Amino acid sequence: MKLRLPLSWVEWLGAHRVLRRPYFLACEVPEAPATLAPRVLYHEVRDGYPKWAHLTCPHCGEHIQLQTAQARQRWTLSVDWLNRPTVSPSIWETQGCGAHFFVRRGKLVWADGERR
């Protein structure tokens, strides 16, 4: 088990400008959430096994679901002690708006290098 600050503490530190809140923060959940908060990446873990990552598209707000379970095509997700997620490889929303971006240590990095 990795040591992590509670998400509420990280949010508090960001709100009080002790540290800068990253674009994305990670939260582990036992099942897919019914509603997604913007700028939160939900990592669905069932019985200790990673299954999915859920987030809203930073461009259009649509639900993006990434498979993190053992499969041929999957994403890896790591979370540091400040709950900042890193997702590999990039995320490309091919079903909707076409957004293509990276999540690195909680930062949103557009694949085309442009800000939207």
Whether the CB-CB separation of 58 and 41 falls below 8 Å is answered with no
| Positions of E strands within the chain | 25-29, 40-46, 49-56, 63-67, 76-79, 85-92, 100-104, 107-110
pTM of the model: 0.86
Task: Break the chain down into helix, strand, coil percent, rounded to 5.
Answer: 10, 40, 55
Q: Phi, psi (5° rounding) for residue 96? A: -120, -110
CB neighbourhood size of 112 (10 A): 9
pLDDT of the chain, 116 residues: tens digit per residue: 577 888 888 888 888 988 888 999 999 999 999 999 999 999 999 998 899 999 999 999 999 999 998 766 689 999 999 999 999 999 998 888 889 999 999 999 999 766 55
Dig out the tokens for 86 from the structure. 């890193």
